[in-house]
Structure 1
């Protein structure tokens, strides 16, 4: 009987989630897309001489900058797949940054800090679940309140804890115990030698592999593993099916015996825990201490990455990686690297214009996209570098542009943000 219910629920959820399209995203398509991207980056590096486009340092920085954004996005994915909008990810990350530093200092272990940071974010998620699921508070209002509360709580706790410690203060903690990075032994030097040859494609592949396999934190490895784990749990298990049904058709799920309240609570608490883990990463791995304002809006950027990924783990990871990559380039050699990206963007826009014209028969859209490609290429050809004032906002501009281009194919869960009460009419 249980198997029949699961099968019926799965059919209903998949019918709601299915988007009419001839295109099907598969692992083969993903590998082809990654290969094409590496080839295009190699071509751009070869033409412009901007070595940081595929250098090990840039890739390593990309991963470090993408992890907290990706974890916040995963948190939003869990919550919204269960039908609860989580604007409070920023506040939960703030609780995670403070909890990570306090736990590491208090117990003398960075892993204790990771656990406390995770629990701090889960606490914020629990508050959001109580407000939205049990009391029916508007999801946006509750999320904003969590953001304000997270900031206020950490400011108070810093004054009563860190201010009393040597090296600490009202807005920052003393230095925290650090997590030592790890590397795959025996491949760093050979890859470095190959990267320094500046050969087309081979040196670029060596730089990318070296950046992914050397001086990487174990928390980074954990964060990367959470992406396929989330996909497996939410799309390949009965638990995930029931949770997603709560975000698509909660009344139908209730009629099949699913405790909608319980699944929403679990999803939102897990959401907060993932955001808290992202916050702990900022204070324990990306920095040497907790500082007020350390999240810098990454909770909101994580939401943008989730939307870019169409509420899917793989697309979310790509969105976080895109933001992390542009941020890493502007932090290292902003003017040169971002200027080289103009050529890459021009080629991509030209490709999109051809696709719109040939495959979609959207002449007007193709004309506008092609015009954009010409303008971007003209900027690349007529300038030698990008002013520093503009390179600092490159990640944010990139996020807005990508979201704008992806808006037409987005499909959030059908009941995302819709108030639910047990026993309500369908």
Structure 2
């Protein structure tokens, strides 16, 4: 044995440290800081512009009403895509929900209308599942077909059901159902009135906070509370149960899931039918909110729901934030038109300024410079005008959709097998 033999130390274990991608982990403390900062910025914009309605209880309540159908559509998309099925047919499933919900609601009561709308949306989801899961049709083509089919079916049935017999006597027309009864709403007694008085003082930050909380505790629909429960339930089922783990595995690696005994077809079917039911609930919410079915009532909210889902990175919490943002933009243009949207120009400019500064700090110079350039342009637009054209006001929700998608694109991670055709035994 050589005396000069040397011992080679074993290789050091890799160090576990902070990720090198530069992303900040969104802990509860960070989230609270972001919320507080956003509230201060919005309050400052209100004080500078004089647009008192941007944080009023009415504006927040309108934003909540606008966010619910978008959020339910996004939640529907989340269930389907977590199982690996792209559901572009959400708009059609919402249309089915509005029609069947209104049809059953005016003849019986609103809650039976809700059930009928959910079943109508689930039927649309079942059609999408049969076409995509069983027959392997491209998911995008199948979704577009569902949208066209739902529009055609409801247009035909509306002419048959809303223009004959008892429906005519109750005010039915070819494009509109007879009115139905209102569903129960809730208000926190005492608190709502006190918050309204506090908001009327227009104090910096305090009145804004009072307006936001007031909008969340005044005249809240039963369906809004149900939607909130469904968001919590979705998170618990998909991320805290073995059923949810198996379903998500079908969207990540269905071949591996199959090898572990998961019936991938069954889970995909269940996910897409639940997706349709949630989209139908979002549609019937629109019908109950206006008390009748109206042709074209969904107004593209199924597509905006998909955008909110992508913004939320296929998770319920981020989806809720995205739906709230889109609902706020929708409510803003419906309530006060050009004045509030004009104030929104300054708010967006400030957000772009912060984002541009952060991008440059991260040495992402191109996108940072683009964000700063748009911030300057919006600031100049705000300073040189007193209002904005009606066309811009009407397009505000869609402009916000594009802006948010552009800003969030770099943080996205979709399920790996989302939209990928699957056949049993293909991995063998």
Q: TM-score range by the shorter chain?
A: over 0.9
Q: Hey, what's the Cα distance between the residues in 1 that align with 2:349 and 2:65?
A: 27
Q: Hey, what's the Cα distance between the residues in 2 that align with 1:170 and 1:366?
A: 51
Shift of 1:411: 1.4
Q: Hey, what's the Cα distance between the residues in 2 that align with 1:323 and 1:410?
A: 18
- Pair 1:42–1:326, CA change in 2 (3 A): same
Task: Report the equivalent of 2:4.
Answer: none
How many residues matched? 406
Task: Report the equivalent of 2:6.
Answer: none
Task: Report the equivalent of 1:3.
Answer: none
Shift of 1:266: 0.5
- Post-superposition Cα deviations, 1:300-348, rounded to whole Å, max 9, x if no partner, equal 1111111111111111111111111111111111211111111111111
- Post-superposition Cα deviations, 1:138-174, rounded to whole Å, max 9, x if no partner, equal 1111111111111111122222222121211221110
Task: Report the equivalent of 2:102.
Answer: 101
1:371 equivalenced with 2:378 (yes/no): no
Shift of 1:105: 2.0
1:188 to 176, 186, 192: 192
Task: Report the equivalent of 1:207.
Answer: 211
Shift of 1:21: 5.4
1:150 equivalenced with 2:157 (yes/no): no
Q: Hey, what's the Cα distance between the residues in 1 that align with 2:72 and 2:128?
A: 18
User: In the TM superposition, what are the counterparts of 1:288-299 in structure 2 within 5 Å?
Assistant: 288-299=291-302
Task: Report the equivalent of 1:115.
Answer: 115
Mean alpha-carbon deviation: is it higher for 89-98 or for 376-385?
A: 376-385
Task: Report the equivalent of 1:311.
Answer: 314
Q: Hey, what's the Cα distance between the residues in 2 that align with 1:304 and 1:331?
A: 21
Say what the alpha-carbon RMSD is for the aligned residues: 1.4
Task: Report the equivalent of 1:284.
Answer: 288
Q: Hey, what's the Cα distance between the residues in 1 that align with 2:185 and 2:411?
A: 39
User: In the TM superposition, what are the counterparts of 1:252-401 in structure 2 within 5 Å?
Assistant: 252-285=256-289, 287-358=290-361, 360-401=362-403
Q: Hey, what's the Cα distance between the residues in 2 that align with 1:263 and 1:391?
A: 42
Q: Hey, what's the Cα distance between the residues in 2 that align with 1:368 and 1:172?
A: 46
Q: Hey, what's the Cα distance between the residues in 2 that align with 1:353 and 1:137?
A: 42
Task: Report the equivalent of 1:243.
Answer: 247
Task: Decide which structure has the larger Cα Rg and report it.
Answer: 2
Shift of 1:189: 1.1
Task: Report the equivalent of 1:11.
Answer: none
- Pair 1:20–1:266, CA change in 2 (3 A): farther
- Pair 1:19–1:234, CA change in 2 (3 A): farther
Shift of 1:83: 0.3
Q: Hey, what's the Cα distance between the residues in 2 that align with 1:402 and 1:100?
A: 32
Shift of 1:124: 0.4
Mean alpha-carbon deviation: is it higher for 52-61 or for 180-189?
A: 180-189
Task: Report the equivalent of 1:234.
Answer: 238
Task: Report the equivalent of 2:134.
Answer: 134
Unaligned runs of 5+ in 1: 1-17
TM-score w.r.t. the length of structure 1 is 0.93
Q: Hey, what's the Cα distance between the residues in 2 that align with 1:60 and 1:371?
A: 34
Mean alpha-carbon deviation: is it higher for 349-358 or for 240-249?
A: 349-358
